[in-house]
A and B are shown apart, each in its own frame.
Chain A
């Protein structure tokens, strides 16, 4: 029963999801909408509790075991508690205050303050690292070690030159050639990959709906 019930639910909801694509009847569309949005949201709400539980458990275990770098776990747990308290009791922003006194003169520490002044700059910092990683990755990719890498280097060089005014100075047809590389060979290979991807999605969905693929249940019969 532990296995049969999930397989049965997947079979019914999987077939129903496919049928809803072809049948525009309001009752079917409404039921499909409920399955896709409402039910999924309810499951997500319960899972979030499990997720927070997982974070707490993971870091408490590290602290208990005095694992390497366990002091960072203190920071995570403290930050989690403070953010949760401010989020639940401290209000959203200045215009929507909570029951906690989170405004000190012109300074406020509402959840929006934490998000705008901590989360956003930290995320932007991580994102900006991408520029450096891109440079190191490009260096590695463009080393002409074999025929494929040489072709890649050559194509990238032409596309880059074609995108800047200097390219036109070298030859007036260079920007058009760069555009052709992007529009024809590049798009053709992208579409080839996408065909494979769509077939893969189809195959995986069919295997899961029919109960042939059970990896998501942890494998086994």
Chain B
């Protein structure tokens, strides 16, 4: 029996074709080692060894299972050459492979996998810059109507006539969210109008950085509107960064102050319906806007007007009627048309000629 086991052990062959190469498109420090897997029932796994050039010492890096034929050495130092050896380990014996060729890891200056993204960025940037420039010359660019934004003036007028406040909630996200930046751009335009109309404005904020920026935006808007005297520190105030505590505070403001108009514009999560339904119950005219697709149905249900997705980003340009900014809306529309065209062309190529279009993107 013993002699039979030894006989089986002798049949373990060393792994062949051990290769080591630098992982492309990364910051370096990683080398991938590959080898041919051995089909032997008594094999337990592989031990991966590494040797630095001009050194006699072999370091054990890892022991991997028998089904593996690949190991990533993420402890390699850039520009230092290493070679690798794989030991096939069975219960009673082991077989050592030939060492791989020397290789070293290098950091790359360009991640080639991002090439389609770079091309897309360049093409879209050119479209936008073209329309920004065109908007400067052609001041009569046709921009499609956005009902929710046409209603802003009407909603603010209503608040003025009723002698009640306007509530503006810029979402619960931070300044690193583009939806929040878009919301603050709209806040600037809304604040200009409330300053002109003399309508009280309430802006509760859920993030300290957003609070700081929102306060400056409103202050600057009141100054631009020629009413710096009407601005006071109490217009914009920080409440809390706790999601439902913030929702409770906004609901409290809605029921106590009974604002005639509520703007719920920015990034919202589960609190969206709690806030919007309370606003609807107080009888306020509500304009909401978010790019959170999951919250859109709640806003559409509970609010009078909803800015859906891209309309949120077009809003400040639309309200301000600044020609260059309006060029951006036009560019957005053309870019969308280009994307739709590409989807159609790529779908035809993929379906008719079985081309691997997904791998091009």
Contact = CB atoms under 8 A, between A and B. Distances in A.
Interface in A123-139: 123-124, 126-127, 129-130, 133-134, 136-138
A195 B338 CA distance: 11
A104 interface: no
A107 interface: no
Interface string A46-66: 011011101101100100000
A43 interface: yes
Contacts of A217: 216-217, 220
Interface stretch (B60-68, B93-101, B103-111, B152-160): B103-111
Given A57-B233, A205-B178, A207-B325, A219 B220 contact: yes
A123 B241 CA distance: 12
A113 B53 CA distance: 58
A208 B208 contact: no
A135 to B, nearest CB: 10
B139 interface: no
B346 interface: no
A123 B244 contact: yes
B92 interface: no
Contacts of A54: 211, 233, 236-238
Q: Identify the interface centre among B223, B270, B309: most chain A CB within 10 Å of its CB.
A: B309
Contacts of B213: 216
Contacts of B325: 207, 212-213
B351 interface: no
A215 interface: yes
Interface in B39-94: 78
Contact of B309 (A29, A136, A137, A196): A196
Contacts of B245: 119, 122-123, 126
Contact of B313 (A48, A61, A69, A201): A201
A202 B320 CA distance: 20
Interface in A166-221: 190, 193-197, 199-208, 210, 212-213, 215-220
A122 B26 CA distance: 46
Given A55-B238, A218-B224, A123 B208 contact: no
A51 B320 contact: no
B309 A48 contact: no
A220 B220 contact: yes
A207 B328 contact: yes
Contacts of A18: 121
Contacts of A122: 244-245, 248
B189 A200 contact: no
A69 B256 contact: yes
B219 A218 contact: yes
Interface stretch (B13-21, B140-148, B329-337, B352-360): B329-337
Given A51-B211, A203-B332, A206-B125, A215 B244 contact: no
Contact of B186 (A29, A134, A194, A215): A215
A100 to B, nearest CB: 24
A133 B178 contact: no
Given A137-B302, A197-B310, A119 B211 contact: no
Interface in B214-266: 216-221, 223-224, 233-234, 236-239, 242-245, 247-248, 256
Nearest to B313: A200
A23 B224 contact: no
A50 B336 CA distance: 41
Nearest to A69: B256
B209 interface: yes
A126 B78 CA distance: 53
Interface of B: 25-29, 78, 107-111, 114, 117-118, 121, 124-125, 128, 132, 176, 178, 181-182, 184-189, 192, 208-209, 211-213, 216-221, 223-224, 233-234, 236-239, 242-245, 247-248, 256, 270-271, 273-274, 276-278, 280, 291, 293, 296-298, 300-302, 308-314, 316-317, 320, 324-325, 328-329, 331-332, 335-336, 339
18 contacts: A18-B121, A22-B117, A54-B211, A122-B244, A123-B245, A129-B274, A130-B273, A136-B277, A197-B309, A199-B332, A203-B313, A204-B313, A206-B128, A207-B325, A213-B185, A215-B186, A218-B221, A219-B224
Given A26-B27, A55-B238, A218-B220, 7 more contacts: A21-B117, A26-B29, A57-B233, A203-B331, A204-B178, A216-B184, A219-B189
- Report the 9 A-B pairs with minimum CB-CB distance, sorted nearest first: A218-B220, A200-B313, A215-B185, A196-B310, A51-B208, A47-B208, A126-B244, A51-B238, A200-B310
